[in-house]
Each structure stands twice: as structure tokens, then as C-alpha cells.
Amino acid sequence: MKYKAIIFDLDGTLTDTLEDLFLSVNYALRSCGLPERQLDEVRRFVGNGVRKLIERAVPKGTKSPMTEKCFEAFKAHYVIHCQDHTCLYPGVATLLMTLHAKGYRMAVVSNKLQTGVDELARTFFKGVIDVAIGEQPGIPRKPEPDMVLKALEQLGVSKEEAIYVGDSDVDLQTASNAGLPCISVLWGFRSRDFLVAHGATIFAKSPQDVLSLV
């Protein structure tokens, strides 16, 4: 074992959440009388938390009260529908069970609201993920390192004993800010070319590849 702990991003890394995010974004836009977005647009908007997702989704120039109304509509819809279409990427369940059996400590760190992280953790990661941290008051969102540092503290490991796994430029910056190496997965929301342009040097084409890198 090169490392004792693995910090995973959630959306686009372990879980394919895009369809549910897309549907909730468009529900919120529709409920506010705003034009809806295409799936690929929502894919590009994801990564910096749900508030930033909504700020990107509403038309430019939308006033703050309307953006806030849309944000609240999104939250109300998504908390109910966050598992309608969401699933683990193929091979992820086997990866997590294998890592758990080998004795790795594991955490999920996400810019998704803590309620959403908890809901998905109960469904998909019970018994294998030790710590699950989402957006919550008092902890800056990624790419600030605070969530990762809190996860390391709760796992009881140092940054030298851990590696980060994610699918986006936000994850690369988060890992760098926290002092961790980063594995960039190629099945998520960003392309290899995009990740290379943002400094990625370690890649996993499939969940199985992660095993040889940790």
C-alpha cells in the first residue's frame, strides 16, 4: 500500500448524478419562469457547489432575488429527487469493496450540500466509506482545502498518507491546496484534454486502474 487513505470526490467520480442535477436545475428554472438548460450546459456548470450551479444556470443579468428563489427551488426539488436516476459508475462498487477489504480508510468530500451527500452515502457507501463531508456552514467549499483537511483529521491520517481522486479542475486544485497528489478519472464530467490543460498528470481510465495507483 502506497497510501493509507483515499479521499474521493463524489459527482462525476463515484456517482453519475448528472441526470438528477439536470432535471432539478430545469425544474427550478421553469418554476421561476426562466429558460431551461441543455444537459451539456449543466455538465459544464457542475463542480463548485449548488449555489454556483444555479448562478451559472440562470441567464446573465438575473437579479439576486430571482437567483435566490431559483436556488431554493432547486434545493427543495433535488433533496426529494437526488436518487431518481443517480447510480454508481460501472466498477465503482467493486473498487470500493476491494479497497475496504485491503484496509484503506476512505472519505467522500463534495461541494454538494451535506444533506445530499448524506443521502447518497446511506444508499451507496454504507459500511465502506468512513467519512462523508459536504457543503455546510463554516467550512469553505472546494477548491479550498478545508474539507479535505477535516476528512484527514477524522480519518486519523496525515496528508502524506493520503491521495485524492476526482474528475475535474476543481479537484486538481483542491488536492494541490491540501498537499495531496491527485488521480484524475476519465469517466466523469471533464475530458482528458481539459484535465491535462489544468495540470493533471495521473489518470485512471477505469475504476480498476485506481487500484494500481494507490
Strands 15-16 vs 87-88: parallel, antiparallel or unpaired: antiparallel
Q: Euclidean distance between the first and final Cα of the chain, in Å? A: 6
- Confidence at residue 58, expressed as pLDDT on a 0 to 100 scale: 97
pLDDT score for 48: 87
What residues are paired with 15 via a beta bridge?
A: 11, 88
Q: By the 8 A CB rule, do 15 and 89 touch?
A: yes
Residue 66 is predicted with a pLDDT of 96
* Domain locations along the chain: 5-16+86-213, 18-81
pLDDT along the chain (214 residues), means of 10: 96 96 98 97 92 96 95 95 96 98 98 91 95 95 97 98 98 98 97 97 98 96
In this prediction, residue 201 carries a pLDDT of 98
Distance CA 185, CA 8 (A): 11
The whole-number pLDDT of residue 125 equals 96
Indicate the pTM of the whole model.
0.92
Catalogue the active-site residues: 9
Interatomic CA distance for residues 47 and 49, integer angstroms: 6
* DSSP state at residue 142: T
pLDDT the model gives residue 89? 98
Instruction: Select the CATH number that applies to the domain covering 18-81 from these four: 1.10.150.240, 3.40.50.300, 2.30.42.10, 3.40.50.620.
Output: 1.10.150.240
User: Pairing state of beta strands 105-113 and 131-135?
Assistant: parallel
| Cell triple for 115 | 444533506
Report the CATH fold assignment for 5-16+86-213: Rossmann fold (3.40.50)
Assign 3-state DSSP to the chain and report helix, strand, coil percentages, each to 5. Answer: 50, 15, 35
Tell me if residue 11 falls in helix, strand or coil.
strand
